[in-house]
Amino acid sequence: MSALGAGAFAQTQTFTSPDGSWSESSSWADGSVPNVGSSSGVNSITVNFNPSSGTESTILLDRATRTSALTLMIGADTTAEEITFLGTSSLDGHATVINASNYQSGVINLAAQDNDDRFQNKVSIVSSIKKGVTVNVLTKTPTLAINLEGNIVFNSQTTQKNFTMNGTAGGGDLTICSGNSLTSTGRLNLHTGTLTVEEGATLKMTGASSGLRMKHGVISGTLDLSSGGDFNVSTNKIGDRFSIAFGGTSGGKVVFTNTGSLTHSLAAGKDVSRPRVTGELYVGTAAGAMKFSQDLQLSNNSTLILNSTNAISMNGGGARFVVSNLTPDSYDVVDRDGVADAQLIIGKDADTGASVKVDGVNTIENIYMYSGSSLGLTLNGNKLIIDEINAFDSRDESDGIIAGESMYFTIWLNDFIQEGNLVIGKLYDAVTTNDVYNYVQIGNSLDGEILVSYVNGHDNADGFSIALVPEPAAIAALFGALALAIAAYRRRK
């Protein structure tokens, strides 16, 4: 045992047993059990885990009686590649709190002796979890406080499967396994990390500053933000304040599978922090399974892919989206040189990128276009009804035309659309079919022609049907190429 002087970690010891108990002197390099506990008044210790054989170290935390929790710092000289802490029935009932900030690479398991519920809440973790570290939380623990750069997996092996943590930030990955639930009382900002919520698992956000951001994610369970709040990444920029963000500051990919669901609500006065897509969001949930209390913002350079029918709703009504041409973290307009600010795609496989046939018709209640913004539409042969498309002034978030100023936006058609597959009920101020061409254009360098007709055949009362068909010249060229191919084949025969 070597004294470090007065301070938080007053002593350092080395645990050499591959699988031993705290209370056994043979488990320790110097043959003595650490002098911590009520009698010594020492509340912290640094331990190097250097197993005498193998690369794994398991310690049964049957330490002496204490009047408070013991903080155990994993030493910087640790050689174990996997460390398992087994909580047991310490006489005073206080936990051992693990500080892993020195541990650079490996696996940490937080468990209970014999997976016994009586020994839950005996081991916890604080501090940073470094990029090369995975923490498996195998028993219910006291509230976790971590800075996540590595990975943390909630997968209780006891009957107690409800976890609590007070938020985290960093580039790490967080996984909630089936049958487990995690309540975060602070924000989760996985701005470069991945959130996985397995089928039958739940993530619940609570508290006034409990916004959620994930760069990547696979959501097959439940996200519950019904009691959640929001947060500001940049306190001086209201544009980076949100309740939930799908994607990081530069792209990302989040997938909701057919068993995934989301419930979102935000207190009055929080309307500036609407949920937003900042990367790719794939939605394959059941109808109405993603419930938002605010319009979903499609931020600059984002993509929303709908692989099921009418999965998204707002306040019990239909889906409403806001298309933004602003940078994700400010109110600065971005010039994307003719490329759509956001993309809306119906039917695209999240793994292969192939077109997907979606059963039924997707209906969107309203799309608000920031003035000067653009939205790319790709239907992949599927059907889409948009009840209304309106203009939106990004400076004061008011609808309609500002006195003395014009509002404009562009809808890009990025694939050929057969007649009847795209219907827009109200297109801002368009009255005639000719007016539609002011807002709808051909994208992706397609050689085609936009055809617009009235749904009811005589006026705009029921909206416009919009199709994009190949130009006659393009069709003729296609048939010509086909004829040449057939002729060449016959010559070879």
Q: Taking 70 as the threshold, does the pLDDT of residue 375 lie above it?
A: yes
**What would the two tokens of residue 56 be?**
């794994």
Among the ranges given (9-13, 43-47, 197-201), the one the predictor scored with the smallest mean pLDDT: 9-13
Q: How far apart are CA 176 and CA 327, in angstroms?
A: 32
Residue 186 is predicted with a pLDDT of 84
Q: How confident is the model at residue 95 (pLDDT cuts 50, 70, 90)?
A: confident
Among the ranges given (109-123, 172-186, 256-270, 384-398), the one the predictor scored with the smallest mean pLDDT: 384-398
Query: DSSP secondary-structure letter at 74?
Result: E
Residue 466 is predicted with a pLDDT of 97
Q: Taking 80 as the threshold, does the pLDDT of residue 193 lie above it?
A: yes
Beta partners for 104?
Answer: none
Best mean pLDDT range from 93-107, 231-245, 452-466: 452-466
Residue 7 is predicted with a pLDDT of 39
Higher pLDDT, 124 or 344: 344
Q: In whole angstroms, how far apart are CA 474 and each of 78, 314, 449?
A: 69, 42, 10
CB atoms within 10 A of CB 93: 11
Query: Average pLDDT of 208-219?
Result: 90
Task: Quick: pLDDT tens for 109-161.
Answer: 999 999 888 888 888 888 889 999 999 999 988 878 788 999 999 999 989 89
Q: How confident is the model at residue 404 (pLDDT cuts 50, 70, 90)?
A: very low
Closest Cα partner for 290 from 272, 269, 315, 266?
A: 315
Residue 242 is predicted with a pLDDT of 78
Closest Cα partner for 20 from 70, 55, 61?
A: 61
Among the ranges given (42-51, 106-115, 202-211, 296-305), the one the predictor scored with the smallest mean pLDDT: 202-211
Q: How far apart are CA 211 and CA 229, in angstroms?
A: 6
Q: In whole angstroms, how far apart are CA 45 and each of 4, 20, 83?
A: 10, 18, 16
Task: Quick: pLDDT tens for 414-425.
Answer: 999 999 999 999
Q: Is residue 282 a contact partner of residue 306, using CB atoms and an 8 Å limit?
A: no
**What would the two tokens of residue 369 be?**
């276009």
Residue 328 is predicted with a pLDDT of 53
Q: In whole angstroms, how far apart are CA 476 and each of 396, 472, 480?
A: 50, 6, 6
Average pLDDT in the chain: 85
Q: Taking 70 as the threshold, does the pLDDT of residue 382 lie above it?
A: yes
Q: In whole angstroms, how far apart are CA 151 and each of 120, 214, 245, 479?
A: 22, 14, 20, 56
Residue 48 is predicted with a pLDDT of 97
Q: Is residue 274 a contact partner of residue 225, using CB atoms and an 8 Å limit?
A: no
Task: Quick: pLDDT tens for 446-489.
Answer: 999 999 999 999 999 999 999 999 987 445 544 554 655 565 55
CB atoms within 10 A of CB 429: 13
pLDDT above 90 as % of the chain: 56
Query: Average pLDDT of 242-269?
Result: 87
* Residue 486 C-alpha from the chain's centroid: 50
Among the ranges given (104-113, 126-135, 167-176, 277-286), the one the predictor scored with the smallest mean pLDDT: 167-176
The secondary structure of 437-485 as a DSSP string is TTTEEE-TT--EEEEEEETTSSSGGG-EEEEEEE-HHHHHHHHHHHHHH
Residue 283 is predicted with a pLDDT of 98
Q: How far apart are CA 148 and CA 165, in angstroms?
A: 12
Residue 118 is predicted with a pLDDT of 81
**Side chain identity, residue 381:** G
Q: How far apart are CA 283 and CA 455, in angstroms?
A: 29
Q: How far apart are CA 278 and CA 249, in angstroms?
A: 7
Across the chain, which distance is largest between two alpha carbons, in Å? Answer: 99
Q: How far apart are CA 463 and CA 436, in angstroms?
A: 11
Q: How confident is the model at residue 403 (pLDDT cuts 50, 70, 90)?
A: very low
Q: Taking 80 as the threshold, does the pLDDT of residue 246 lie above it?
A: yes
Q: In whole angstroms, how far apart are CA 315 and each of 57, 359, 398?
A: 52, 24, 20
Query: Average pLDDT of 253-258?
Result: 98
Among the ranges given (49-53, 319-323, 383-387), the one the predictor scored with the smallest mean pLDDT: 319-323
